[in-house]
Amino acid sequence: MPRDPEVRLTQATLRVLRFFFEDPLTEFSGADILNTTSLLSGSLYPILYRLEDAGWLTARWEQVDPSQEGRPRRRFYKLTDNGHAWTQAALAKRGKKEGALQWAF
């Protein structure tokens, strides 16, 4: 597994990653993620941009004809193989930290 590219893992970023990690084979649109994670669009889209740019996520456009559907095409995201491994590591690391804090207090 290549080394994970440096991405700032804020709470919001981890929420997004956890969301994908729970169902790694499914593709999700921005609206799906917004509805489930309750993040604001202003937080979500910059996170998706950074994660895709760094290779954690991959994205593709919905294969429909917008004129037939009467709506624009959606963009779907899912974890890459590396992204899955990096997410697993990041969440495990986070879990350890949280565990340590709980123990300390």
Partner 1 sequence: MGVLGFLADVLLAVFVGLIVLEVTIREPAWSRAMVRRAARRLPDPMREACTAEWLADLGEVTGPLSKILFVGGLFWGASRIRQSWRAKRLEELNKHRDKYREAKRTVLSSDIEMDVALIDDCSKLREMCNRIKHVTTFEEFAPIQQQVGKYLHRVNTVSTVNAILLTQFWHDLQKDPEITEKLNYFRHELRGGYE
Chain residues in the site for partner 1 (CB under 8 A): 29-32, 34-35, 40-46, 49-50, 53, 62, 71-75
In the chain, the amino acid numbered 39 is L
Phi-psi region of 91 (alpha: psi -120 to 50; beta: other; left: phi over 0): alpha
Least gap, CB of 57 to partner 1 (angstroms) = 13
Nearer to partner 1, 64 or 100 (CB): 64
Least gap, CB of 98 to partner 1 (angstroms) = 26
75, 61 contact by CB (below 8 A): yes
Least gap, CB of 29 to partner 1 (angstroms) = 6
